[in-house]
Amino acid sequence: MLELKNVNAHYGAIQALRDVSIRIDQGEIITLIGANGAGKTTTLMAICGIVPPSSGTITFEGKAIQGQPPDRIVPLGISQVPEGRLIFPELTVIENLNMGAFLRDDKPEIKRDMDYIFDLFPVLAERGTQRGGTLSGGEQQMLAISRALMSRPRLLLLDEPSLGLAPLVIRQIFEIIVKINKERGTTIFLVEQNANLALKTAHRGYVMEVGRITMSDSAQNLLADEGVKKAYLGLT
Amino acid sequence: MEYFLELFFGGLTRGSIYALIALGYTMVYGIIELINFAHGEIYMIGAFTGLIVAGVLTAMGFPALAILAVALVVAVVYCSAYGYTMEKIAYKPLRGANRLSPLISAIGMSIFLQNYVLLAQTPNFLPFPNLIGEFEFMEDYAHILGSANLVIILVTAAAMVALTLFIKYTRMGRAMRATAQNRKMAMLLGVNVDAVISLTFIIGSSLAAIGGVLIACHTGQINITIGFIAGIKAFTAAVLGGVGSIPGAMLGALVLGFTESFATGYISSDYEDVFAFGLLVLILIFRPSGLLGKAPTQKV
C-alpha cells in the first residue's frame, strides 16, 4: 500500500533520514520505534509532504507521492495525527472535526462519519460546542484521532499517541486504534517511544536509529529480540 | 449634549476608518506574524484609484452616488491585486526566513509604493470631490452627524458584519482561523496555506481600499503620505485591541477613535496624538497583549 524506498531527508545541512525503506501492506498495523531524535516524526512528515525527501521514492497504492504538496496527498487517503495532537485551540470540537473533512464536499457522508466518531468517542459529542483548547489531554488525543478520521483515510499515521497521557487513557486510545483497524480496515502506521505497547499492538515493526532503519521483523520477534529488549524495552 | 453627540459620531467615524485599515494589519499578523508596514500604502492607492475613477466618471456626467459605488468597486479590485502581488513579491520568498527579513521587506515595499505614486501622480495635495454629498433627510442633523460620516459608519458596519460572518461560518473562513492557530496542522489536513495567505491579503486590501475612498470623500483632499499617517494610527488600533484578533482590531479602532475625538473636542486638537499614543502606552503597560488579545499559553 505504502512503500518508502531509500528515502533521504534533510533539514538544511543536517540529514534526518538515511536510506529509509519501509513497506506497509493493506490492513496492517505497522509500528516504527526508536529513541528521541531518531527520525520517526520526519518519516511521517516526509510521507505527508511537509518535509519533502531530498532523494528516494514514496509510493502510495502504486502512485509516486514524494515531493507532492500535502493538499494533494491527503485526498489520496493518507491522514496524520501529529505529535502533540495540534488541536486548534480556538475552534470548537465540531469545527476541529470539520477541518478534518476540509477537502471533502460530500455533506451526508461527512455527517455519517461524524456520527461514527461520536459513537467511538461519546465524550466528543458532549463537548461538541466547546473550544478545543479546553479539553483534557486525553480528550484532545481523541479529537486529534477523530479529526484525522474525518478525511476518511485508508492509511492513518499516528505520531506518539500515548505521549503525556495517563495509563488508563492510553489503554483506551490503543483499544480504539485496534478497533479502527479491524472495523474500518484502516491501515495504521504507528510511531511510538513506548516500544512495549507499540509492539504489542502492531503486526510488524521497524526500529530506527539516527535516521536509519536498523531492524525490521514481526512484532513478536522484535519483542523477543535481546537487542530491542535492552535498548527500548528497559529489560535486561 | 449636542456637542457631545457631535464628538461621539466624529469618534465613531474615525474609529470606523481605523477599523477598516486595522483589520488588514491584524489579519495578516494572525496568519503569518508579519506587521505589513506597506498596508497603509494600499489605503493610499485606494484613495488615488477612487480619485481617478471619480475624475473620469464626473467628466462623463454620472451622478455622484453612482460614481462613489463604481469608485469603491474599482478601488477594491485594484487594491486587491496590489495586496496579492505584494505578498507574492515581497513576503512569500521570505517565508521561513527569520522574522526581521519580511519586516524590512515590508518597510521597503512601503517606501517603494509611496515613491511610485509620487512619480506616477504628484507629490502635491489633490482635491477629492465629495461624492457622498449632503442627504436631504439628514439636513436637520447635519451639525451632529454629516452625511459623509453616516455613510462611512454604515459601510464600515456592513463590512464588519460581512467579514465576521465569513470568518465564522464559511469553509474558507474556518480554514483561515485554523491556519492562524496552527499552520502546520492546517497543512496536514490539506489546507492550501498559500491560498489562505493570498486570500488574507486580498480581504485586508479590499477593506483598506474602501477606507481610502470613503475618508477621501470626507476630508476632501489626498496625497501620497495619507497612507503612512492612517497606517500608523490603524496599527496602534490593532495593537490596542490585541494584534491578531479580529474583534480586537474593531474594538481597538473604536476606542482610539473616541479617545481622539473627545480629546480634541474637550481639551485641544493639539493633544489628539498625545492622547492616542498615551492610551497605547497605558494599554501596553497594563495589558501587553491588548484589550482582547490573549497572552500566549501552551498546553502540553
Q: Which one, of A155, A171, A173, A160, lies nearest residue A85 by Cα?
A: A160
| The amino acid at A116 | Y
- Name the grid cell of A195: 516500544
Kindly state the cell numbers that stand for A132. 478545543
Mean pLDDT of A197-223: 93
Asked if the Cβ–Cβ distance from A80 to B182 is below 8 Å, we say no
Alpha helices in A66-201 (DSSP H): 70-77, 93-100, 107-120, 122-126, 137-149, 167-184, 195-201
Q: What is the DSSP string of A169-202?
A: HHHHHHHHHHHHHHHH--EEEEEES-HHHHHHH-
Q: How confident is the model at residue B296 (pLDDT cuts 50, 70, 90)?
A: low
- In angstroms, the Cα distances linking A68 to A151, B77, B190, B205 are 18, 32, 12, 31
Look at chain A and report how many structural domains it folds into: 1
Q: Cα–Cα distances in Å, from B279 out to A71, A195, B240, B252, B285? A: 45, 56, 8, 11, 10
CATH assignment of B2-286, among 1.20.120, 3.30.450, 3.40.35, 1.10.3470:
1.10.3470
The answer to whether the CB of A30 falls within 8 A of the CB of A202 is yes
What residues of chain A lie within 8 A of the CB of B168, using their CB?
none
Task: Closest CB to A133: pick one of B178, B188, B299.
Answer: B299
Question: Residues in chain A, how many?
Answer: 236
Quote the pLDDT of residue B300.
43
For residue A76, pLDDT over 50 is answered with yes
Residue (of B213, B208, B205, B224) closest to B81 by Cα position = B205
Best of A65, A102, A106, A110 to substitute, by most chain B Cβ atoms within 10 angstroms, is: A102
State whether B300 and A164 contact (CB < 8 Å).
Answer: yes
- The pLDDT score that the predictor gives to residue B138 is 80
Residue type, B66: A
The pLDDT of residue B295 is 65
Of B174, B177, B188, the CB nearest to A80: B188
Contacts of B196 in chain A (CB under 8 A): none
Whether B224 shows a pLDDT value over 50: the answer reads yes
Residue with C-alpha cell 480629546?
Answer: B263
Distance CA B259, CA B50 (A): 29
Asked whether the beta carbons of residue B174 and residue A71 sit closer than 8 angstroms, the reply is no
Tell me what percent of the residues of chain B surpass a pLDDT of 90: 75
Q: Tell me which of B189, B192, B292 to substitute to probe the interface with A (most A C-beta atoms closer than 10 Å).
A: B189
pLDDT tens digit sequence for B35-80: 999 999 999 999 999 999 999 999 998 998 899 999 999 999 999 9
Among B79, B49, B80, B54, residue whose Cα is nearest residue B66: B54
Residue A179 domain boundaries: 2-233
Mean pLDDT of A50-57: 94
Tell me if B185 and A48 make a contact (CB, 8 A cut-off). Answer: no
Contact B289, B242 (CB under 8 A): yes
Mean pLDDT, range B227-241, rounded to an integer? 92
Q: Which helix (H) or strand (E) holds B52?
A: helix B39-59
Residue B268: its pLDDT value, please? Answer: 86
Place of cell 477621501: B216
Long-range CB pairs of B83-90, under 8 A, 24+ apart, other chains included: B83/B24, B83/B42, B83/B201, B83/B202, B83/B204, B83/B205, B83/B206, B83/B208, B84/B198, B84/B201, B84/B202, B84/B205, B86/B38, B86/B42, B86/B201, B87/B197, B87/B198, B87/B201, B88/B198, B90/B38
Question: Which chain B residues contact residue A151 at CB under 8 A?
Answer: 189-190
User: In which band, very low, low, confident or very high, does the pLDDT at B139 lie, cut at 50, 70 and 90?
Assistant: confident
Instruction: Answer left, alpha or beta for residue A44, where phi above 0 means left and psi between -120 and 50 means alpha.
Output: alpha
Grid cell of B41 as nine digits: 500604502
Residue pairs spanning A and B at CB distance below 8 A: 64
- Find the length of chain B: 300
Least confident among B61-75, B96-110, B124-138: B124-138
Is there a contact between A137 and B299 if contact means CB atoms under 8 Å apart? Answer: yes
Residue B25 near residue B238 (C-beta atoms within 8 A): yes
Q: Residue A12: which region, alpha, beta or left (left: phi > 0; alpha: psi -120 to 50)?
A: left
Those residues whose C-beta lies under 8 Å from the C-beta of residue A44, and which sit 6 or more positions away, are A80, A82, A157, A159, A189, A191
* CA closest to A105 among chain B residues: B171
User: So where are chain B's domains?
Assistant: 2-286
Q: Which residue of A has its CA nearest to B176?
A: A99
The predicted-structure confidence for A171-208, as pLDDT tens digits, reads as follows 999 999 999 999 999 999 999 988 889 999 999 999 99
Who wins on pLDDT, B201 or B244? B201
Instruction: Return the CATH number at A8.
Output: 3.40.50.300
pLDDT digit string (tens) for A18-28? Answer: 999 999 999 99
CA separation for the pair A194, A174 (Å, rounded) = 12
Task: Give me B140's grid cell.
Answer: 436637520
